[in-house]
Amino acid sequence: MNLENKVALVTGASRGIGRAIALALAQAGADVMVNYASSEAAAQEVVQAIQAMGRRAIALKFDVSHFSEVEKAIKQGVEALGPVDILVNNAGITKDTLFLRLKEEDWDRVLEINLKGAFNCTKVVLQSMLKRRFGRIINVSSVIAFSGNIGQTNYAASKAGLIGFTKSLAREVATRGVTVNAVAPGYIETDMTAKIPEKIKEAFIAQIPVGRVGKPEEVAPAVVFLASKEASYITGAVIHVNGGLYM
């Protein structure tokens, strides 16, 4: 799968699944805009790793939930690398608690980052994709969007919202060479899942048919495939990467 001469933007790319996706896209030949919210050092490390592969990369700091920030930063990225061909809406947060304890601000913040963030980034890059009659939009959802999970009503709602967003937008832009798909990771070893108490982790792993948690590097190839010309007849689809946790 050759992504040479393509430019990708990956949100939340300084660590975890986003980092693995950014590196995998570069490995396939793409130049990459590495978005981050707080850790500049981690983002620059990803940029350097991409440059070491002989690809171009730039770190862009912006909060995906603020449209003006998104617009300004992506303009800077386009000036440096060229228009975005591949958008990976990966940025996401959790603020877990039982629904009765869930604060309004924690509901709002999770929806703002996980769902509105995808709207903002897509809004900024889509017009250019349509004009050039090529684009790949890949939204990173979650197994929780399909199975639900105790203490994650806000997170589940945001990730399920991404599925509806994916399918509806896919229908709107399909005739213009732009595909819109989603990847739904299961239990993946990241900073986010590291916060889960050990007993809950063990219970989770017991439900996974392959008997282990996944790695970010096992999610990234699905994204690379959806970004490639080989996937040009796939749109509105969800690829589940979860070790059989949800079938």
pLDDT tens track for 89-133: 999 999 999 999 999 999 999 999 999 999 999 999 999 999 999
Annotated catalytic residue 155: yes
What would the mean pLDDT of 223-237 be, rounded to a whole number?
A: 98
Architecture of the domain defined by 7-239: 3-Layer(aba) Sandwich (3.40)
pLDDT band at 219 (very low <50, low <70, confident <90, very high): very high
CA pseudo-torsion sign 79, 80, 82, 86: negative
- Cα distance between residue 97 and residue 81, in whole Å: 41
Q: Is the per-residue pLDDT at 27 higher than 80?
A: yes
User: In whole numbers, what is the pLDDT of the chain averaged over residues?
Assistant: 96
Find the catalytic residue in 36, 155, 233, 246: 155
User: Which contacts of 150-157 are long-range, i.e. CB under 8 A and separated by 24 or more positions?
Assistant: 150/98, 151/96, 151/97, 151/98, 152/94, 152/96, 153/99, 153/102, 153/107, 154/95, 154/102, 154/106, 154/107, 154/110, 154/111, 155/94, 155/95, 155/96, 155/110, 155/114, 157/111
